[in-house]
Chain A
Amino acid sequence: MDLLTIGQIINTTLVFATALIFASLGGIFSEKSGVTNLGLEGFMVFGAFAAGIGAHYAQEAGMGGTTSAWMGVLLAIVLGVLVSLIHAVASITFKADQIISGIVINFLAAGSTLYLVKLLFEGSGDSPLVQGFSKFNVPFLENIPLLGEAFFKNVYPTTYLAILFVFLTYYIMFKTPFGLRLRSVGEHPSAADTVGVKVRRYRYVAVMISGALAAIGGAAITLTTTGTFSHNTVSGQGYIAIAAMIFGKWNPIGAFGAAVFFGFSQAIRNYVQLFEWSQSIPQEIIFMLPYLLTIIVLVAAVGRSSAPSALGEPYDPGKR
């Protein structure tokens, strides 16, 4: 394989990974605070939906392609935060089972976004095509061999944003008082409580950030890949994001690595088909590849994963 192809594979990998990165970072915020988030898929769906209609109406209002795409992202954030409150209220205030509450989000997302699309666009099953983000080249850097092809040519702003968020998340989690408190709430809520950290408040904020980030992930899909929102825009990536988060041991850098790995194994599935020998293998085997690879890596590399201790437990100050 030549350098050019390798660079291109990396490039495709990153496009696939972008949404996963956002969503798995979202998962990390929520779960580090002790709230299981099986609703990532739903948040992504809401985000993809909001991006689709947000960008559409912004375009209708005469905004340019990129500006309208950012409006879509903005709307995705707003909606992501709003619906994350459902998860928060149920699982934090009313102490519902967090797994169930996350699954509820997925149900509501599947139902309500399509319902709304139909109401807004006269019965249509998907939102109108929007321009979304454009690919761009970074001057000069694009000419570096391999790296240029991989990271600076034909890139989307969302990819850079995702990588920025990885470091931002890392910084917030491990360098700031907010991060320390957030993690303490997920590890030992009553310890946090007894030193005056408002457990529920931190969990609310964490879940809201989670909703926002996952929604940006969904928005990235609409605005870079599909151009419209329909029932299959997200199609299971939220679950892959959960896998990436667990795989990455709830660490932003780890989750980033896992998301890139998943992106890579998706990208490779197309490249493999370019080889003559691949014609003799049934396609299904090639399609299985990413998932098989994941299991193999899990078995080989990762031992027991280190979830936050209080993950999934509603905080009840009366209980010891």
Chain B
Amino acid sequence: MGAATPVVELKQITKRFPGIVANDAISLQLQKGEIHALLGENGAGKSTLMNIVFGLYQPDEGSIEVNGKPVIIDSPNRAIDLGIGMVHQHFKLVQPFTVTENIILGSEPTKGLNINYKKAAAEVQRLSEQYGLKVNPHAKIHDISVGMQQRVEIVKTLYRGADILIFDEPTAVLTPQEIKELMVIMKKLVAEGKSIILITHKLKEIMEISDTVTIIRRGKVIDSVKTSETNPNELAEKMVGRNVTFKVDKKPATPGANVLEVSKLMAKNKEGIAVLNDLNLNVRAGEIVGIAGVDGNGQSELIEALTGLRKVDSGSIRLEGKELSNHSPRHISEAGIAHIPEDRHKHGLVLDFSVSENIVLESYYKEPYTRKGFLNFDAIKKQAKRLVEAFDVRTPSIETKARSLSGGNQQKAIIAREVDKNPELLIAAQPTRGLDVGAIEFVQKQLIAQRDQGKAVLLISFELDEIMNVSDRIAVIYEGQIVGEVLPEETNDRELGLMMAGSTQKRGTVHE
């Protein structure tokens, strides 16, 4: 090595935020044609570092060289000029715009004064064919799948002539199929001479695709190793600073009576299309049922129907025999359903409330938190303190605004709140999305603990691994219907993948 100049070299980059050193003298080299993985816990400073490379932040100290030349990247424009492109963790796409509009934004081809949409669409088409990135140039972003949105992001960088691509947690939002496709795309990109920095929490992906791994902990580089010379256990240990077990260890389930019985559930969306189509499902006490499926097959609608946020047209939802369909969220919550929502910022938390206020978000009106219409702050604080400790929510204080907690800690606060309700049924939607392995381990242990206490747990996840490791039984959802049920120990990724894709070979019901 040493001979080739790295395409990007970071030298002693330091970035401070009030009260925290997000990047502490980080150095890193990206070689041409390599996939360089960046690994670290939530809040380790990965996104911050990449935002510096992309010109969104300025480092407080340190320097950057691109192709051997020192550069100052003071804006995304400058980064783009240098051939750097970034696919952000949260997509930077304008929802009401078309795919083409998003791609050309900022460097639009023109004819006279007008935008030359024809030329633009043709260019998009060409790029998408060259790299195998299937996108529909004329679709609006809010109409396309998350996977396609991500491909749009990639085309966006390619359209600007990027040679250096940064992917910030690209797989967190993808289905297994989409992840596979993305891997293929990334390989193709490096084959075409591009270089990639990849941020991910998934060790499997790192092992599969990267050439080099750099591990960051608390803003510092812990190590940088060749992927071929390491293994997942070593990586995890370096990242968290302790030993992590991957195999979710759990005793076999001892399911009891049916807790949740959903039968013939039908619901239509605003356009009148059936989103839940004669859906049947049951969850028993003491078991975790995982719902596997490609995003957009009715998972969100199912959860909404179960929690009272969506009206259903027909069918029944029974919790321990009590009919709950079309009841209010409060009624359902009191009947014994708890819910870890998919979008924690939108549904899970009031970000401008303190941690303690968020802890009682669903129980504030009950004794002892409210007495005679007045809030009882002593009780609320006591409860918050107790849960923060029990669930290891890392926050400066319970009066801190939820907004300033890290994603993982926000999630822990929600789980604490929901689990503490002691529900008969716990619905967990994407509970580990975007969390680091340490946090994931914690969350999954909580789900299993619930099960072991004899509660019913319904897990919705796009992570096949999670579904396979955590569930006791897997139900596959396709086009608003449960198309099959399998036991994790009797199935594999391939079979599940086929079922999720709508292959109708239904297997017999597993239990009974």
Contact = CB atoms under 8 A, between A and B. Distances in A.
Size class of the A contact interface (CB-based, 8 Å): 20 to 34
A317 B55 CA distance: 10
B478 interface: no
Interface string A163-199: 0000000000001110011011001101111111100
A192 B76 CA distance: 10
A184 B56 contact: no
Nearest to B92: A191
Contacts of B106: 181, 192, 195-197
B57 A184 contact: no
A251 to B, nearest CB: 12
A309 interface: yes
B80 A191 contact: no
Binding site secondary structure of chain A: helix
Interface in B105-140: 105-108, 110, 113-115
A317 B106 CA distance: 17
A190 B93 CA distance: 9
Binding site secondary structure of chain B: loop
A187 B98 CA distance: 13
A195 B105 contact: yes
Interface string B181-201: 000000000000000000000
B242 interface: no
Contacts of A184: 94, 97, 105
Interface string A60-77: 000000000000000000
Contact of A193 (B76, B95, B104, B113): B76
Nearest to A172: B113
Given A180-B105, A181-B105, A194-B86, A175 B76 contact: no
Given A177-B108, A181-B106, A196 B115 contact: no
Interface string B55-93: 011000000000000000001110010000010101111
A318 interface: yes
Contacts of B156: 195
Given A180-B101, A196-B106, A187 B94 contact: yes
B115 to A, nearest CB: 6
Contact of B110 (A177, A309, A318): A177
Contacts of A193: 56, 76
Nearest to A177: B108
Given A188-B94, A190-B92, A196 B80 contact: yes
Given A180-B108, A181-B105, A181-B106, A194 B56 contact: yes
Contact of B94 (A177, A191, A317, A318): A191
Contacts of A180: 97, 101, 104-105, 108, 115
Nearest to A186: B94
A175 B105 contact: no
Contact of B92 (A176, A183, A188, A318): A188
B327 interface: no
A181 B93 CA distance: 13
A320 B106 CA distance: 20
Contacts of B86: 194
Contacts of B77: 196
A195 B76 contact: yes
B75 A176 contact: no
Contacts of B96: 187
Contact of B115 (A175, A188, A190, A194): A175
28 contacts: A175-B114, A175-B115, A176-B114, A180-B97, A180-B105, A183-B97, A184-B94, A184-B97, A184-B105, A187-B96, A188-B94, A188-B95, A191-B92, A191-B94, A192-B94, A192-B106, A193-B56, A194-B54, A194-B56, A194-B86, A195-B80, A195-B92, A195-B106, A195-B107, A196-B76, A196-B80, A309-B95, A320-B90
Q: Which 8 A-B pairs have the closest CB atoms?
A: A191-B92, A196-B77, A195-B106, A177-B108, A187-B94, A188-B94, A196-B106, A194-B76
